[in-house]
Structure 1
Amino acid sequence: MKSIMFFCIPAHGHHNPTFPVVKELVNRGNTVRFYSFNEFKEKVEATGATFISCDAYLAEVTKKVESGEETMSTTDMTIVDLQSTAKMDSFLQKEVEEFKPDIIVSDSVCFWGKLTARKYKIPMVVSTTTFAFNKQSASYMKSSFAEIMDLIKGQKRVKAELKNLEQHGYHEKSIMPLVQNDNYTDTIVYATEKYQPFSNTFSKHYAFVGPSVSADYLLDKKNKRPRVYISLGTVISNKPDFYKKCIEALKGEAVDVIISCGRVVDPESINGLAENVKVYRNVNQLEVLSKANVFLTHNGMNSTSESLYMATPMVLFPQTNEQRAVARRAKEMGAGIELKGESVTEIHDAIMEVLNNGKYADAAMSCSDDFRSALGPKGAADFIEAAPHLMPEEDKKNIRREIIPGVLQLVFWCVMIAFMFSFKPLTGSDKWWIVAIVANVIFPFYKKMVARLV
């Protein structure tokens, strides 16, 4: 039996898939300490794991971000995570010395979990609740110009936080090793090989276990009237006007509608606008999806996986870069169509197309069959208990192919950033942003050239 430390960020979509896995590990006699946050305390303790609160060590965020009214940029989230790591250092040192873990399981974007494993040289398994991303599957992540500019402008701030971490014994020269997947770190992915883009390009250090579902409901799609479920998740759900448009779009149709509006919007401000629509702050999503005939979703990995597990086709309405990648894959599988705009007509037509065209339901059922035949929580527990997995000789050869392109790409952006800062002294012009545009245009060609050379 093993002593296992679990780490996760304060996000429902990252916590939920882990709970069945933790429960399975505890049931097998392993001792699990789950380093989480107070809002997840009840769910963590229900698995049998020991809940350890990390709320006191989170770096400060604005109240609007904490409540879900506003979102943070990628740079700001990175900085908050690095600052939180510094705050947790002494606390986690004591925990490691007392608990003496055999394994650390860390969410893929939980910096304090990953860095603790590296600092104390403890075998680590990464828990990836979205797709695994390498240079092939990264093509699914299409960053906007604003997102790229945020990353470029934030480099100096991020480097300052990494420098601050050095005094605590964390020697990370770049943020990239903390956020990217590689082919030599043991990793659980909550997707099947069929659903994961380019799954054949990942090493044997990856276990594609499929969705980790905490409860199973019998599918019951034969409703007297079609059932429509609408939810934008827990992070970017402050869209009362959008919910009202959904109600307007469906109030004249012979369908029953459930809207989960999240913690920011008051359900009573929308309830009563149509007899066939009921609005709640939150619902038992798996139970609702087991009976729903269509799901209008933001395409968080967790929600999309649960929808396909329950054979529910979707109207795809992604809000972030990561969600756009998930939506693209669901569309490729034939299990949904993209909502092109937010008008009443566009919402109506998209939902009715999925309801009236059986090919979407058939594709969702095919995905459900695939998901239900996956390794699941038991396979994930097997993988964790067997860690660390020794690196095959072929994997060692592949490290060079993994690392060199990343280093050369980092050099490219360092040169571009340096050029931007020196643009005015060299040219006398304030139009440094021209360099950013040119860099964004030529970078894909540079990547292809590097790939050929390696």
Structure 2
Amino acid sequence: MARVLVVITPAEGHVNPSLGLVKQLTDNGEEVVYVCTEEYRSRIEQTGAELRTYPFPEDAFSHDPVLKPAEYKHPYQFVYMMVGGIIRKIVPEVLRVTADETFDYLIFDSLMGWGGTIIAEKLGIPAVCSIASFAFVEPLGTDQDMDENRKDVKELYEATMKLTRQLADEFQVRAPAMDEIAKHEGRLKLVYTSRYFQPQAEKLDDSFIFAGPSIVPRQDAPSFPFEQLRARHQQTVYIAMGTILNKDLDFYKLCFDAFQDLPATFVLSSGKHTDMEPLMDRIPANFIVKPYVPQLEMLQRADAFITHAGMNSTSEALYYNVPLVMIPLTSDQPLVAKRVQELGAGITLDKNNLTPAALRAALVEVLSNPDYRQQAHVIGESLRQAGGYKRAADAITNYFAAINR
């Protein structure tokens, strides 16, 4: 069987979708070497893969000014993040920890962009791109129509291309054009969604494999008193704002104000690094607040989900037919929220004009109008039928078996 190198950006939303695929590959007999950070050792080793680590700050995506999630007003901002934050920092480490080894093929994270192509070229192997969000038909920020002639846009272009040329010289590879850096490259592009949910899917060729979300039990999930959910109220609402931007105490206060007298049980996942002590005396009686909630199990019991519209969280909710109230914050979240709303499975709110009244009204609408749950079911069915990590693994192994005959 093949020896596979997997290189995924060290972020929850990118590592988690890869785990089912990697476990299936190892179950199928492939030898997998997974390059990531120490933070993810437990869950990666549970797949049967061998982990290789490199130094990378655990909270880099919260504090690093280049990596910190942002609202991209122009595609160059996203591309600069890839080059300066991901490629420059991770690619040399990957090549260092895999020096003098041989592999049959590479699976790399789409957030690495051109960096995946560098690794594949230096190792002399074909590659598969792992896409943890929607496949980008156009780079993030394209729809903002920022003037190309603005001084800051020109300066960003020059800074990005200067760094790109420096890296190309360092790795002795061809320097790509700006529009090639973020492009999805690879023999196959594995997308963890369905063609139905993917925007502009008709513009993507057959090298894009839509396998649906990778739903696998999480061995590190904490216990939760699920018996309390229906003790007082018939409906349950889950609130979680991801793992990077979940420390906004003002938002949690807003939720308390909006929902304290609604006849539903609210479960708020505040984040394991969020200090909720200042709010402890303000938590309403209909709220259960925990630093970390077993999300897959909770979504199977939820009537609605209030979320930042991260791709993982959104896909998991829809997989279980849960309609959404979405408050997109950054990165690809506005794109994800827009697609959910287009398909009728949720309501999007503006984070800059958020009030208790607006939040309450959106939730009441989603809970009381059965159309939202019905449309969530339609998307969910497309995700469940996509095949998941088993189809993804089969597509990859069958492809490489065919070309090696």
TM range (shorter): 0.7 to 0.9
Displacement after TM superposition at 1:210 (Å)? 0.7
The 3 A distance-change label for structure 1 pair 60 and 46 is: closer
| Greater share of residues in helix | 1
Q: Does 1:78 align with 2:79?
A: no
The 8 Å contact of residues 228 and 294 in structure 1, kept in 2 or not, is answered as yes
Instruction: Name the residue aligned to 2:270.
Output: 261
1:406-448 per-position Cα deviation (integer Å, ceiling 9, x unaligned): xxxxxxxxxxxxxxxxxxxxxxxxxxxxxxxxxxxxxxxxxxx
Distance 2:65 2:357 in 1: 31
The reply on whether 1:180 has 2:183 as its aligned counterpart is yes
Q: CA deviation at 1:150?
A: 6.3
1:386 match: 398
Matched to 1:49, the amino acid is: A
CA deviation profile, 1:190-218 (whole Å, cap 9, x unmatched)? 111111122232212111101111139xx
**Residue identity opposite 1:104 in structure 2:** L
Aligned partner of 2:74 in structure 1 is none
Q: Which secondary structure does the structure 2 equivalent of 1:154 belong to?
A: helix
Aligned to 2:21: 21
| CA pair 380-154 structure 1, distance change in 2 beyond 3 A | same
Tell me the distance in 2 between the aligned counterparts of 1:59 and 1:161: 22
For residues 388 and 361 of structure 1, what CA distance do their matches in structure 2 show?
A: 40
User: Do residues 11 (structure 1) and 20 (structure 2) align?
Assistant: no
Give the alignment partner of residue 355 of structure 2, picking from 339, 343, 346.
343
CA deviation string 1:385-423 (max 9, x = no partner): 1345999xxxxxxxxxxxxxxxxxxxxxxxxxxxxxxxx
Question: Could you say which residue in structure 2 is the equivalent of 1:434?
Answer: none
Question: Where in structure 2 are the equivalents of 1:47-86 lying within 5 Å?
Answer: 47-55=47-55, 58=56, 65=63, 71=69, 74=78, 75-76=80-81, 78-85=83-90
- Which of 108, 119, 138 is the aligned partner of 1:116? 119
- Separation of aligned partners in 2, 1:86 and 1:337: 39
* Deviation of 1:67 (Å): 12
Q: Report the Cα offset of residue 45 of structure 1.
A: 0.5
Q: Is the 8 A contact 1:109 1:178 kept in 2?
A: no
Structure 2 residue matching 1:207: 3-state secondary structure: strand
TM-superposed deviation, 1:77: 5.1
Instruction: Give the alignment of 1:361-376 within 5 angstroms.
Output: 361-376=373-388
Name the % identity. 28
What residue is the counterpart of 2:252 in the other structure?
243
Alignment of 1:128 with 2:126, yes or no, is: no
Whether the 8 Å contact between 2:194 and 2:210 is mirrored in structure 1 is yes
Shift of 1:360: 0.6
Letter in 1 for 2:156: G
CA contact (8 A) 2:129 2:184 kept: no
Q: 1:146 to 1:353 in 2, by over 3 A?
A: farther
CA distance in 2, matches of 1:173, 1:140: 20
Alignment of 1:279 onto 2:277:
no
3-state DSSP of counterpart to 2:158 = helix
Query: How far is 1:8 from its partner?
Result: 0.7
Task: Give the direction of change, closer, same or farther, for the CA distance of 1:232–1:187 in structure 2 (3 Å limit).
Answer: same
Q: Is the 8 A contact 1:106 1:113 kept in 2?
A: yes
Residues 61 and 69 in structure 2, CA contact (< 8 A), matched pair in contact too: no
Quick one: distance in 2 between partners of 1:343 and 1:389? 55
In the superposition, the TM-score normalised over structure 2's length comes to: 0.85
How far apart, in 2, do the equivalents of 1:372 and 1:26 lie?
A: 23
CA contact (8 A) 1:271 1:279 kept: no
Structure 1 partner of 2:312: 302
Moved more, 29-38 or 173-182: 173-182
Q: What are the Cα deviations for residues 264-300 of structure 1, in whole angstroms up to 9, with x where unaligned?
A: 4213333342111122222111111111111111111
Query: Which shows bigger deviation, 152-161 or 8-17?
Result: 152-161
| Contact 1:226/1:293 (8 A) holds in 2 | yes
Give secondary structure in 2 for the equivalent of 1:163: helix
Q: Report the Cα offset of residue 157 of structure 1.
A: 2.0
CA RMSD of aligned residues (A): 3.2
Q: What aligned pairs does 1:93-108 form with structure 2 within 5 A after superposition?
A: 95=98, 97-98=100-101, 100-108=102-110
Per the alignment, in what secondary structure is the counterpart of residue 17 of structure 1? helix
Deviates most, 152-161 or 353-362: 152-161
Question: Paired residue for 1:91?
Answer: 96
Within-5 A mapping of 1:415-454: none
- Asked whether the equivalents of residues 246 and 344 of structure 1 are also in contact (C-alpha less than 8 Å), the reply is yes
Aligned length, in residue pairs = 381
User: Secondary structure, in 3 states, of the residue corresponding to 2:100?
Assistant: helix
Instruction: State the 1:319 CA deviation.
Output: 1.0
**Cα 1:116–1:311 shift into 2, 3 Å:** same
2:325 alignment partner in structure 1: 315
Unmatched segments (≥5 aa) in structure 1: 392-454
The CA distance in 2 between the partners of 1:144 and 1:238, in whole Å, is: 31
Query: Structure 2 stretches of 5 or more lacking a match?
Result: 71-76, 219-226
State the secondary structure of the residue aligned to 1:142.
helix
- Mapped to 2, the partners of 1:279 and 1:28 lie a distance apart of 40
**TM-score, with normalisation over the residues of structure 1?**
0.76
Contact 1:270/1:279, CA 8 A, preserved across alignment: no
Is the contact between residue 134 and residue 181 of structure 1 (CA under 8 Å) also seen in structure 2?
no
From 382, 389, 395, the equivalent of 1:377 is 389
**What is the rounded CA distance, in whole Å, between the counterparts of 1:130 and 1:66 in structure 2?**
21
Are residues 179 and 76 of structure 1, via their aligned partners in 2, closer, same or farther at CA, if it must alter by over 3 Å? Answer: closer
Counterpart amino acid of residue 257 in structure 1 = F
Relative to structure 1, the CA distance from residue 28 to residue 86 in structure 2 (aligned partners, 3 Å threshold; closer, same or farther) is: closer
Equivalent residue in structure 1 for 2:302, among 292, 297, 308: 292
Q: 1:60 to 1:262 in 2, by over 3 A?
A: closer
Give the match for residue 352 of structure 1: 364
